[in-house]
Amino acid sequence: MGLRAKFNISILAAFLIGLGLVAAFTWKVIRDNARIEVIHEARLIAAEAAAIRRYTVVEVRPLLANQSRTRFLPHTVPAFAAATTQRDFTAAFPDYTYKEAALNPTNPANRATAVEKAIIDDLRREGAPDTVITTRDSPTGPILSISRPLRIESKDCLTCHSTPAAAPVAMVDVYGPDNGFGWTLNEVIGAQIVSVPMQVALNRANDTFFQFIGGASLIFAGVLALLNLLLHFVVIRPIRAMSELASAISTGDLSGDEFPAKGKDEIASLAQSFNRMRRSLVSAMKLLDS
């Protein structure tokens, strides 16, 4: 195997192993970052919904208190406010959804699906975590959901959610006596579930990954080409010329020119020694002839 092949094979092998390790590491970091970014988006939406809930209780409910006595106004209900504003948000950003899913909801639109029921059951367990993060596949790509328990922490909630008799009559007229009752204090009755599509972030992560790997490969190809040029002009060509001269001399042909030995590198010093050896050989031959 020639010098060029040895040199190229070793450098290529080192590069491929290095690139493989860097690619595996980068892939993991970039994908993890995409997930962190999506989780952050979901937390923003959850915080926005929480703000809307608070606004409803603090700002809207007191203003509508008088009217609520004669007519039930769902606009005073935080769950209604959050769900209504989020519907507009989802119209602008499909796949981004916010749901207050309940096992026994007042509004049937909030009834938990099978997947949501599994999440709620998980959150109802003794010692369950405060947040559950799940991912599922959808036709538009994976969807990440962050779920937090909806716990009845105040007795005020039970006015409307314990028994139909305790609830405002106007509310029971609208929602009926069958749903959204029987909740108890400290019970987890559902989950606040924010779902965010991951595909956009994953696509961006893939693009970044391939740009990085493509860039690294291009730089490597450039460096390899430069090293090959150097190898050719600085090492292989002079050695080949010297080797041809040496074989000519070995067959008794001393007619060739001196080898050009400019420079101070190892090849130049080899050429100088070679020229000296050749000169000594020529003088020795002359002595023998005379």
Amino acid code (one letter) for 265: D
Residues 188-227 that bind ligand HEC (CB under 6 A): 190
Q: Restricting to residues 154-183, name those near ligand HEC by CB under 6 A.
A: 154, 156-157, 159-161, 168, 171, 175, 180
Q: Does 49 bind ligand HEC (CB under 6 A)?
A: no
CB of 122 to ligand HEC, least distance (A): 17
Instruction: Restricting to residues 77-106, name those near ligand HEC by CB under 6 A.
Output: 77, 79-80, 83, 100, 102, 105-106
- Would you say how long the chain is, in residues? 290
Q: Which stretch binds ligand HEC (CB under 6 A): 36-44, 76-84, 115-123, 207-215?
A: 76-84
Comparing CB distances to ligand HEC, the nearer of 172 and 245 is 172
* 34 vs 150 by CB, closer to ligand HEC: 150
**At residue 100, what are phi and psi to the nearest 5 degrees?**
-100, 85
* Spatial contact of 150 and 191, defined as CB atoms under 8 Å apart: yes
Least separation in angstroms between CB 204 and ligand HEC: 34
Q: What token pair was written down for 71?
A: 């007519």
Least Cβ distance, residue 79 to ligand HEC (angstroms) = 3
Least separation in angstroms between residue 196's CB and ligand HEC is 20
Which residues, at least 6 apart from 21, have a Cβ–Cβ distance to it below 8 Å?
A: none
**74 contributes a contact to ligand HEC by CB under 6 A:** yes
Which of residues 152, 194, 196, 201 is near ligand HEC by CB under 6 A? Answer: 152
As measured in angstroms, the least distance from the Cβ of 217 to ligand HEC is: 53
Nearest approach, Cβ of residue 138 and ligand HEC (Å): 23
The residue sitting closest to ligand HEC, measured at its beta carbon, is 157
Range 101-140, binding ligand HEC (CB under 6 A): 102, 105-107, 110
Phi, psi of 97 (to 5 degrees): -130, 155
Could you please report the per-residue DSSP string of 8-68? HHHHHHHHHHHHHHHHHHHHHHHHHHHHHHHHHHHHHHHHHHHHHHHHIIIIIHHHHHHHH
Q: Contact residues for ligand HEC (CB under 6 A)?
A: 74, 77, 79-80, 83, 100, 102, 105-107, 110, 150, 152, 154, 156-157, 159-161, 168, 171, 175, 180, 190
